[in-house]
Amino acid sequence: MATYDLDQQEQLDQFKHFWKQYGNLITWVLVIALGGYAAWSYYLYWQQQRGAAAAALYEELDRAALAGDADKVGQIFGDLKGKYAGATFTEQGALLAAKVEVDNKKVDEGKATLQWLVGSGKNANLVAVARLRLAGLQMDAKQFDEALKTLSGDLPAEFAPLADDRRGDILMAQGKKDDAVKAYLAAWKGVDPTVEYRRFIESKLTALGQPPAPLHSKVAPEGAAAANGMPPGLAPTN
């Protein structure tokens, strides 16, 4: 029994010595770990609450847009931008607000809204749409250099043909036909042949006297000879 007590006391002394040497470090590690977990949990909760609040404001913005109330749309979007910048609903709201503003002849406000999204947006696809729309408004205002600069930003690959097509429109408005043809041709090549929009780009090239050449499949000499009614053995060999 005495031996057991001595062993227990020795273990207790060792623990006291260990805690004296490392206790503060362990305590701080635990505090940091638990604090980090609590902060992350709060961040997730905050993001969820923030997203819900942004969604509610977006619904209000959508109702104002359907009513065509440009002033109210601008006010609500200002709240979205001020409180929930970076939220997807806010960036979607920018596109909606800009459309209502432009439809109500508030072109400068619409351009400013799109410019905000181009400069501050985090969703690459929404930013790309904003660039295309903003470049179109700048072109209409004969701000050709600004429009081309707007299109020069980074865009997802799927938006590149649309940017080339819009670039061609701007270059045509500047009277730069050859450069416009190059842009339209790049757009035509970039659009999938099954997409109807490709025919629209093709019509622009045709109107400029530069219809894109169709991609013909190569025919073997024998096949060409047969198509001309010649026996395969008599097909030209040179």
The tens digit of pLDDT for each residue in 22-75 reads: 555 555 555 555 444 444 343 344 455 566 888 888 999 999 999 999 999 999
Three-class DSSP category at 197: helix
User: Average pLDDT of the chain?
Assistant: 79
pTM value? 0.70
The tens digit of pLDDT for each residue in 102-129 reads: 999 999 999 999 999 999 999 999 999 9
Q: Evaluate if residue 225 carries a pLDDT over 50.
A: no
Residue 174's nearest CA partner among 199, 151, 143, 211 is 143
Q: Evaluate if residue 4 carries a pLDDT over 60.
A: no
Domain ranges in the chain are 30-122
Token representation of residue 219: 């025919």
pLDDT at site 9: 61
The answer to whether 80 and 110 are in contact (CB under 8 A) is: no
Q: Count CB neighbours of 220 within 10 A.
A: 10
Token representation of residue 34: 């638990």
Distance CA 205, CA 107 (A): 30
Sort residue 142 into left (φ over 0), alpha (ψ -120 to 50) or beta. left
Nearby residues of 168 by Cβ (< 8 Å), 6 or more positions away: 180, 181, 183, 184, 187, 204
The answer to whether 187 and 162 are in contact (CB under 8 A) is: yes
Distance CA 99, CA 230 (A): 63
